[in-house]
Amino acid sequence: MGKIISNKEISPNVYLMKVGGNYKGDMGQFYMIRCDNFPLLSRPISIHNIEKDCISFLYEVKGQGTEILKNLKEDDKIILQGPYGNGFEKREGKIALIGGGMGIAPLFYTAKNLDNVDIYLGFSERSFLEKEYEGVCENLHIKIGGYITDMVDFDKYDYIYTCGPEKMMEKITEMGKDKVYVSVEKHMACGIGACLGCNCDTKNGNKKVCKDGPVFLGEDVYY
Ligand code: FES
């Protein structure tokens, strides 16, 4: 059980929630989050950041579960289960992190934990958290509207880690081939591989996003 430190709207319908406690997690992993009084509405939310005595989550309000989350105030209680999933690996070499929309969320903590990264963030209408991302990467590129892929020289990188709309990740995989690792988003009920609710069709058969992913080699995924 965690206690909310803050839960602020940082852009229309986008919230940053900080929860006090000593939480663990790797780059690209997620927690199942639910309110104390609504036990059936767990939501998978990726780790945005972990600091001393605090973990944070960036989420968009787009359904009943996140509507409930957004109304939580300082000192309210929340249940976090995790960390779950296989996230981004720590690899040697130059890495581009490419996020689209809410797909930027896991890339903050990922950038903090890698040594040689450039970040590319694409937004449809307005950007957010630019200063924060600048604080974890000297080479931050922002694009509002259009294709973020237009800004990326794929030859410059040994690996590309991406999260965001499927169409964007598909295009990035076409361009970056076997350098690309994608973080897949699916609806989840259990988060631990028990309900079969988060299947993803891959070249290696049906995989569970919550347990086998959410990060997969881009070329393995059927979009
Ligand atoms: Fe239940 Fe993935 S959410 S198997």
Q: What is the CATH number of the domain that holds 214?
A: 3.40.50.80
**For residue 90, is it within any domain?**
no
Residues 17 and 74 in one domain: yes
Looking at the structure, do residues 111 and 138 belong to the same domain, yes or no?
yes
**Total structural domains within the chain:** 2
At residue 35, the pLDDT reads: 84
At a CB cut-off of 8 Å and minimum separation 6, what does 67 contact? 61
Using a 6 Å cutoff on CB, does residue 101 contact ligand 1? no
Report whether residue 81 contacts ligand 1, using a CB cutoff of 6 Å.
Answer: no
Task: Based on the fold, state whether residues 108 and 199 are members of the same structural domain.
Answer: yes
Q: Indicate if 120 and 175 belong to the same structural domain.
A: yes
Query: Final residue of a domain: which of 54, 84, 114?
Result: 84
Q: Which atom of ligand 1 is nearest to the CA of 193?
A: 4
pTM of this prediction? 0.96
Query: Is residue 89 included in any domain, yes or no?
Result: no
What pLDDT, on a 0 to 100 scale, did the predictor assign at position 38?
A: 67
Rounded to the nearest whole angstrom, what is the distance from the C-alpha of residue 197 to the centroid of ligand 1?
A: 5
The atom number, within ligand 1, closest to the CA of 191 reads 3
Q: Say how far apart CA 96 and CA 98 lie, in whole Å.
A: 6
Same domain, yes or no, for 44 and 23?
yes
**What is the span of the domain harbouring residue 32?**
2-84
Query: Can you list the residues of the chain whose pLDDT is less than 70?
Result: 37-41
**Phi first, then psi: what are they for 105, rounded to 5°?**
-55, -55
Residue found by looking up tokens 């590319």 in the block: 120
Ligand 1 contacts CB of residue 189 (under 6 A) = yes
**DSSP state at residue 66:** H
211 class by beta-carbon count within 10 Å (0-12 exposed, 13-18 middle, 19+ buried): middle
- Displacement of CA 133 from its chain's centroid (Å): 14
Please report the pLDDT score of residue 39 as a whole number.
Answer: 58
- On whether ipTM exceeds 0.85, the answer is yes
CB of residue 198 inside a 6 A radius of ligand 1: yes
- Domain boundary pick from 84, 115, 141: 84
Residue 147 belongs to some domain of the structure? yes
| 117 shares its domain with 34 | no
Q: Is 58 found in the same domain as 112?
A: no
Residues 76 and 140 placed together within one structural domain of the fold: no
Query: Which residue has the least CA distance to atom 4 on ligand 1?
Result: 193
Q: What is the pLDDT of residue 40?
A: 66
CA 5 – CA 16 distance, rounded (Å): 11
Sequential DSSP letters for 170-200 = HHHHHHHGGGEEEE-----SSSSSSS-TTEE
* Residues 79 and 101 placed together within one structural domain of the fold: no
Q: Are residues 106 and 215 in the same domain?
A: yes
Residue 126 lies in a domain: yes
Residue 1 pLDDT: 85
Domain boundary among 28, 53, 84: 84
Are 67 and 174 in the same domain? no
